[in-house]
Chains A and B, each alone.
Chain A
Amino acid sequence: MKKSHIVLLILIAAALCVIVSMFGDFSTYETFQSASAQPGKQYHIIGYLEKDKEMHYDPVKDPNHFSFYVKDKKGNVNQVVFSGAKPIDIEKSEQIVMSGYMEGNTFRCNKIQMKCPSKYQKDQVAVGKG
């Protein structure tokens, strides 16, 4: 056996170990209910903003506290607290992906991604008057 083959085998073995171990890093998509089973563990939750319920951001009190309500894919509505400033245009988001964990009855999240209606898909043309 060639030396280079031995080194390659070692490298491949190491790479396999790394790849297997990195699966532990991957998060999973959950719902509020399934995330409550393990409070404190980081999950991803996909949901929709509850526009009728209160959104609260008062930077004078705490610039890192934005709370709102989200309905998850199972239809459960839960309070979410985002530790940051209120993201732009969250009112118009079609879908929200949050990364965080359950604590008591609230979902504490530190990352939000929103899917917004693309400006290209708006089937409306801005029409000027006159």
Chain B
Amino acid sequence: MPDKPDRNAIEVVNVSKIFGSGEGQVAALDNVSVSIRENEFFTLLGPSGCGKTTLLRLIAGFDFPTAGEILLYGQDIAPLPPFKRPVNTVFQSYALFPHMTVADNIGFGLEMLGKPKAEIKARVAEMLKLVKMEALAGRRTGQISGGQQQRVALARALAPQPKVLLLDEPLSALDYKLRKEMQIELKRLQHETGITFIFVTHDQEEALTMSDRIAVMSSGKILQVGSPWDIYDKPAERFVADFIGETNFLIAAISGSGNGKARATLKSGTTIEATVAEGFQPKDNATVVVRPEHAKLTKDKGDLSGKVENIVYFGTDTHIHVQLDSGEAFTVRQQNTRSAGCGFERGDKVGILIGNDAAQVLRD
């Protein structure tokens, strides 16, 4: 990870957003606080209705918080209308102006800022080049493809050099291949412009591959903020572990916890080393998670034992579903090779080996 300066671009301080009133009152955001560092690619990740888009709209100024402050480099922008915030948005629907050309769309923000014509022209040319759309500058936005519209929307939002760029699920309308291309393109643009990106998505894979840091949201709250590695390997809560990737949940008795580590005694009687969710002091029983690729299947005795229920071939790997003797379900992911099968068959009695540093104790 390249060095990021420690300055915060955006600080969200105790922000709540309540829709409706009385009985029908809904808290879209419930006392949320988060800091987004300058020059980072920050992702708000969560299922629909978790409040991620509401938070983005509050930062953009399309809506105002019921309580709390939103600081942009230390200045509270929460009460400002959108046209007074040095923040630009890439919309999910792109929202390109259909009665203007590609170039006019890109220049719109600069024009509204009252920049001189020559400067606008130069900047538009620069932006067209940045998103590789020089050839289509004179086209109407209805005459270009979805992927091209996406590029124009990006160029339009980047042209006024915002302090922060907000991206509201911008890739969701693109097909798989184009989406992959644009993911790389977005990373490149963020790197080249050095602008802080706040990216909203419900796609965990997109979040993991693109972000410097991710905030996982659910029901109006931020559950965990961390690097993709933190979020995937050290989930703090069941929701985070479940929402990102596939995982196995096991009930364990905890002993000897301290220093972020603990000993977890599984139902099989085996005791393993586990890391503990940050700031959590486990007592007695807790949930332990093990990712399917961090466990190994053996025909001998393992840390856990059970019977193979089902085998699913995925090309790159094979998922082997095991019914544990304790009654719990456990999935093991095994890398495939060309020469041999996975080596197990349905109904086999198997053992599961859980490696060192493979288990994490959850907060709940």
Are A and B subunits of one complex?
Answer: no
